[in-house]
Structure 1
Amino acid sequence: MKAFFALVHRELLEHRGAFLVAPLALIGILFTMIVLAYVSGRLNFELAAMVNPPALRVFEVGFLGFAVAWWLYLLGVLFFYCADGFSADKRNNSMLFWKSMPQSDFKILLAKFGAATALFPGLIYAAALVCGVIVYVLTLIMVSVGGEDMGTFILGAVRAYLSIAGGILVALAASILWFAPFFAWVGALSTIVGRWSVPLSILVPLLAAGIENMYVSGPAPEGGWIWSYLSYRVDFPINEEGYLRSWFMSGERFDVYQFTLDLVGRTDWMQVVLGLAFALVAIFAASEYRRRTIDN
């Protein structure tokens, strides 16, 4: 296990720019913009207090808004990380070094996949929590200006923060499980074609769907079976009408328990299991390709 964690740590060192430096820089830029806006008078808390929106509502919507932005950032960066990280050893000539150690190609690729599905999402989750604190401070200033009961707001905001933080964690875990086969697919493909795996990972399924539509006849859903299945797998269950939509329209406090029940109920867990199985098979096939390519 020590060797495995060392491999994961290596991934952090090699890709800390996207998952550590960039989030810290973005948070720093956000904080700087807020300070400058406040100093210049563009951030008018008195006007916000006159509009008199519910402070807890402002905090919840702001926190969740930043969480969604970080979630989209994570999914995009993970896709490109897998396209790059799975073939990086070949480009920087470090593969021979790792091949000289008693670590199999499968273990090396599994460490890369583990970093993509556990370590890096954890860093982005921490960034989302920091943004929640920033939103809390801004809302606290608005409450102090508006003359609302500070104690009531602080108690409610702490509960809301913990509830939303739990909801973000659940959504991150579920989305990583749901999109794991896509990350494994582009990563495995990159061991063969390198960075060309980014366009090919999209082009190959589209060509398969097109061939099905042209040459396969018989009853099929609109667009064909392949296209319908891919459309279903790309659509994360949280995008459907569910708790988040009803919560936003109702104005009630965010309830992590109800959110979790709704997400778990909407997720096709059989597809999650099949996707994880596909990911393991893809990683194993890629490791065998790496092993046979270097050995020969």
Structure 2
Amino acid sequence: MNVADTSLPSTARNVAPVHSTHTFKMLLKREYWEHKGGFLWAPLIAGVISLVLTLVAFIAAEVATRRAISSGQLKIDGDVILNGLDLRALTRTLDADQMQQLAHGIDLSLVMAAFWPFVVLAFVTFFYCLGSLYDDRKDRSVLFWKSLPVSDTQTVLSKLASAALVAPAIAVAIALLTMVGYMFLLSGMVMLHGGNPVELLWGPASPVRLATSLVAAIPVFALWGMPTFGWLMLCSAWARTKPFLWALMIPLFAGIVVHWFNLMRIFDLDASWFWSNIVGRMLLGTVSGSELLYRPNPAQGGGSDGLHDLLGHLSAGNILASLALPSLWIGAAAGAVMIFLAIRLRRWRDEG
């Protein structure tokens, strides 16, 4: 009897306490599983739709081309009539400049194909942050979560990490898969017309460089979007009802007042500065690449030079150069303050 009685306390003493990092990891998993539809399926469906539309466009172009060939209406420069479309023969006629333009065109089409998941990401993260703390109060599940040994700081930061890091990382992975799928579809079209995909597509294009750029954009997205994440989560923690209207109307009304009374002249600035750096940063931070609007236009020129400059602007090095923008770190600090206020408000607001 005595041995049996002492074995239970000994077993209990051998149980290791749960580490804080394990708790945070479980909170991240909770956010992912509760919002898997927005984080995973929505951008994945967007990528699939992009590929399906590309396939439909290829089929339509193939049918139209074959009809034009059969009727003798397919011409080059208005003089040469083609009896067939042999990409291998056409490739031999391309000089170095034309091959470079072809490479730029392929890279731009890859960017456009990968753009769809990021459009979905902008809406998903916006409304996720807006309901991240409000929904728990609305269905009163906040009372259950407060009964667990999980701090408000851990809970709010897990939601912030989900919006700023987890969701964009998933969107980048899906965008990369979309790019690969697009290249395979394009390779099939090239092979259908006797071309060599390695020589005509994979060689000139830069899918690895574009993939590196997308990965490099994740930390920039997280830091640049901090004012938006912070503002939306602050409204989610504070608003008793309709957080969307509060989050939208307060910045817009402030912008209207500043513009109406020309208040920025006190600081020798125009009202457009307030709309761009205050209202825009509070509402548009979930839009991927929005930080590029605060830098010189990459396509000042026209033609192939403008396209080359645009693609150069989307390089990994140039994207990471956004980390040197003072406005990025000022906005990140403002977002951190709003996140801190959201944590404090969550400790007080537990009503439905």
Look up the match of 1:175: 221
Give the conservation status (yes or no) of the 8 Å contact 1:209–1:227. Answer: yes
Q: Which one of the candidate residues 177, 187, 194 is aligned to 1:147? A: 194
Which structure would you say has the larger Rg?
2
1:120-199 aligned at under 5 Å gives the runs: 120-153=167-200, 155-156=202-203, 160-193=206-239, 196-199=242-245
**What amino acid maps onto 1:208 in structure 2?**
A
| Larger mean Cα displacement after TM superposition, 67-76 or 215-224 | 215-224
Instruction: Please name the residue that 1:260 is paired with.
Output: 316
Unaligned residue ranges in structure 2 (runs of 5+): 1-20, 67-84, 91-97
> What is the root-mean-square deviation of aligned Cα atoms in Å?
3.5
Match in the other structure for 1:230: 278
Q: Residues 161 and 218 (structure 1 numbering): CA distance in 2 closer, same or farther, change over 3 Å? A: closer
239-248 or 259-268, which moves further after superposition? Answer: 239-248
CA distance in 2 between counterparts of 1:263 and 1:281 reads 25
- Give, as a single letter, the amino acid of the residue that structure 2 aligns with 1:93: R
* Seq. identity, %: 23
Q: 1:128 Cα deviation (Å)? A: 0.7
Corresponding residue for 1:42? 60
Distance of 1:228 and 1:34 partners within structure 2: 35
| Segment drifting more, 246-255 vs 263-272 | 246-255
Deviation for aligned residue 1:225: 5.8
Alpha-carbon distance change, 184 to 173 in structure 1, aligned in 2, over 3 angstroms: same
Structure 1's unaligned 5+ residue stretches are none
Shift of 1:129: 0.9
Q: 1:210 — aligned with what?
A: 256
Deviation sequence 1:170-225 (CA, Å, 0-9, x none):
23432332122112101111112166222322321232233344384646323276
Contact between 1:87 and 1:190, CA under 8 Å: does it hold in 2? yes
Alignment of structure 1 residues 1-296 onto 2, 5 Å:
1-32=21-52, 41-44=59-62, 47=65, 56-153=103-200, 155-156=202-203, 160-193=206-239, 196-212=242-258, 213-214=260-261, 216=263, 218=266, 220-223=268-271, 226-227=274-275, 229-230=277-278, 233=281, 236-239=290-293, 240-243=295-298, 249-250=304-305, 259-265=315-321, 269-294=325-350
* Cα distance change, pair 123–246 in 1 and its aligned pair in 2 (3 A): farther
Q: Give the structure with the larger helix fraction.
A: 1
* 2:12 corresponds to: none
Amino acid at match of 1:87: Y
Residue pair 2:47, 2:175 contacting (<8 A) in 1 also: no
Residue 12 of structure 1: CA displacement?
A: 0.8
| Aligned 8 A contact 2:262 2:271 in 1 | no
Q: Which moved more, 1:174-183 or 1:41-50?
A: 41-50
